[in-house]
Amino acid sequence: MRPPVSLPRTLDAIPETWSPRIVGQVNDAHLKVARIEGDFVWHSHADTDEAFYVVEGEMTLELRDGEVKLRAGDLWVVPRGVEHRPRAERECRILLVERAGTQNTGDAGGPRTAPERWA
C-alpha cells in the first residue's frame, strides 16, 4: 500500500517547471502534479480529455476560440481533440488528470516532452 501523498511537499520537491510527476492512478488515469510558468506549446490530445485543477496560483488555458482563466480551487476539462496552450504569468501549481501514457505535449512533441515518472 502506498502512503498518502502531500501535494504541497511533492510540488516543493519538483525542481523544474513543465515537468509533471505522477502522484497516483485511478483506473486508467494518472494524477499528476506540475509547477508551470510562462507559455507551454500549442497541442491537443486526440484520444483523451485532460483535466486541470489549480492548487496554487493562476493560469490560463488558451484555446483557438478563446481562453479559460483558472485560479486556485478551479477545475476545467479540455475535451479530447481541442487544441490548447497552458500558460502562467507567475509560477502556478497544478494537478492534472489524464489517461495513463498521455504525452504532455500531445501531438506537438518537441523538447518540452517530459517522460512519465512517479514523484
Q: Residue 92: what pLDDT? A: 98
- Percentage, residues of the chain above pLDDT 90: 97
- Domain 7-99 fold: Jelly Rolls (2.60.120)
**Which pLDDT tens digit goes with each residue over 14-70?**
999 999 999 999 999 999 999 999 999 999 999 999 999 999 999 999 999 999 999
**Domain positions in the chain:** 7-99
In this prediction, residue 2 has a pLDDT band, given cuts at 50, 70 and 90, of: confident
Q: Identify the pLDDT of residue 16.
A: 95
The pair phi, psi for residue 13, each rounded to 5°, is -85, -10
Euclidean distance between CA atoms 69 and 6, whole angstroms? 25
Q: Are 70 and 15 in contact (CB under 8 A)?
A: no
